[in-house]
């Protein structure tokens, strides 16, 4: 009972108070395998059709804590250099549920024998549900009496993405429009702010059997602390992946992955908060799992699987 009460108070405070200042995009630990969700320039960059599904449960043990599901598909199409992708992101926290439907378009130019520079555009449809009726209101507020069902708002974004076989870097803003979902004079106002992403990584061949890949993701959004994610992954025999990550002043993470075949990757991550929330009795950490399938037509087409 105490845990449930705490969760709904937490959910209500998170949505009503922090949401009134800045609404952030969904958070991922395995962002290096889910790049198209934040950068449309990544669409089609793997050279073949790729589909990935991801589930994240944050702060397990706390009822109403964030949960995210992502499904994306992208591929190069027809004319050389053109990529197309579609994705669905469902984000839940407490009494709120948000769903984004995205279409990604990219155009790639060759900058060298190995270098590729992609320019991407993202078009989004956003649906918002808020079940105010599920909140435990100690002091009822008339502005929080009527539930919100499937409130629609459009958006668009852009990104650039550069990569070779061993290096990548990208800069993106997935959503440009700063949409207000409520009356800004109300305590329940929530505005979508622009989230700026920078992502980069490099793959070193330590020996014929072992690869090392450090990565960096930074996210900047007005009204929220700077987010910096640092990770380091090792790949053994192009099959097994083991790594660790640190989210600045927020969490430490462990990651494992396995290339089941040339086509299939499965990855898992566990986060533990380094803040006071991490020591709370009701918080068992955050879990994330991703499954990716690459539609490789010719056996042996990929001599070495892409590490990103």
Q: Which helix (H) or strand (E) holds 150?
A: strand 148-163
Q: What is the pLDDT of residue 1?
A: 41
203 in a domain, yes or no? yes
Tell me what the mean pLDDT of segment 159-180 comes to: 92
Residue 270: inside a domain, yes or no?
A: yes
The answer to whether residues 24 and 49 touch, using CB atoms and an 8 Å cutoff, is: no
C-alpha separations of 296 from 35, 44, 163, 230, 262 in Å: 19, 13, 20, 30, 8
Residue 80 falls inside a structural domain: yes
Q: For residue 178, name the pLDDT band (cuts at 50, 70, 90).
A: confident
Q: Tell me: pLDDT of 290 over 80.
A: yes
Residue range 244-260: mean pLDDT, rounded: 94
In a domain, residue 301? The reply is no
Structural domain contains residue 305: no
pLDDT of residue 16: 40
In sequence order, what are the residues at sequence separation of 6 or more whose Cβ sits closer than 8 angstroms to the Cβ of residue 207?
A: none
CA gap 74, 164 in Å, rounded: 19
- Buried b / exposed e along 7-37 (16+ C-beta atoms within 10 A): bbebbbebbbeebbebbbbbbbbbbbbbbbb
Domain hosting residue 280, numbered range: 2-294
User: Would you state the pLDDT for residue 149?
Assistant: 76
Secondary structure in 3-state letters for 228-247: EEEEEEEEECCCEEEEEEEE
Q: Is 307 among the domain residues?
A: no
pLDDT tens digits along 78-130 = 777 899 999 999 999 888 889 999 999 999 999 999 999 999 999 999 998 88
- What is the predicted pLDDT for the residue at 305? 63
Q: What's the whole-number average pLDDT of the chain?
A: 84
CB of 167 closer than 8 Å to CB of 117: no
pLDDT value of residue 180: 66
pLDDT computed for residue 20 by the predictor: 41
- Looking at the domain assignment, is residue 8 inside a domain? yes
Q: Phi/psi class of residue 249: alpha, beta or left (left: φ > 0; alpha: ψ in -120 to 50)?
A: left
Q: Does residue 302 lie in a domain region?
A: no
- Confidence label for 182 from pLDDT (cuts 50, 70 and 90): low
Q: What is the CATH number of the domain that holds 265?
A: 2.40.160.40
Share of the chain above pLDDT 70, in %: 79
pLDDT value of residue 139: 57
Query: Which one has a higher pLDDT value, 44 or 279?
Result: 44
**How many structural domains are present in the chain?**
1
Q: 236-249: per-residue pLDDT in tens?
A: 999 999 999 999 98
User: Residue 297: pLDDT above 80?
Assistant: no
Q: Is the pLDDT assigned to residue 6 strictly greater than 80? A: no
The per-residue pLDDT for range 197-216, each reduced to its tens digit, is: 999 999 999 999 999 999 99
pLDDT at position 156: 95
Distances (CA, A) of 273 to 66, 258, 263: 14, 25, 33
């Amino acid at each position: 009972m105490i845990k449930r009460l705490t969760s709904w108070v937490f959910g209500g405070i998170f949505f009503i108070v922090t949401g009134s200042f800045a609404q952030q995009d969904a958070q991922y630990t395995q962002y290096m395998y889910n790049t198209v969700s934040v950068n449309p320039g990544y669409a089609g960059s793997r050279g073949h059709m790729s589909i990935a599904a991801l589930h994240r449960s944050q702060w397990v043990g706390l009822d109403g804590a964030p949960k995210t599901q992502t499904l994306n598909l992208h591929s190069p199409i027809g004319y050389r250099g053109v990529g197309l992708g579609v994705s669905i992101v469902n984000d839940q926290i407490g009494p709120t549920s948000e769903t984004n439907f995205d279409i990604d378009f990219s155009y790639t130019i060759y900058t060298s024998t190995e270098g590729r520079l992609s320019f991407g555009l993202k078009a989004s449809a956003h649906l918002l549900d808020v079940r105010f009726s599920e909140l435990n209101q100690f002091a009822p507020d008339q502005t929080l009496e009527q539930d919100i069902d499937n409130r629609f708002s459009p958006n668009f974004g852009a990104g650039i993405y550069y990569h070779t076989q061993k290096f990548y870097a990208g800069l993106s803003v997935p959503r440009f429009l700063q949409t207000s979902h409520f009356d800004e004079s109300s305590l329940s106002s929530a505005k979508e702010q622009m989230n700026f992403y920078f992502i980069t990584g490099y793959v070193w061949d330590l020996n014929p059997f072992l690869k090392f890949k450090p990565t960096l993701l930074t996210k900047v959004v007005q009204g929220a602390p700077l987010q910096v994610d640092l990770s380091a992954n090792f790949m053994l025999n192009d099959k097994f992946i083991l790594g660790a990550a640190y989210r600045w002043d927020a969490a430490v993470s462990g990651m494992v992955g396995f290339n089941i075949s040339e086509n299939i990757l499965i990855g898992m991550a566990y986060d533990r908060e380094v803040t006071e929330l991490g020591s709370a009795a009701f918080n068992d950490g955050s879990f994330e799992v991703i499954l990716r399938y690459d539609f490789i037509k010719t056996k042996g087409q990929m001599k070495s699987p892409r590490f990103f």
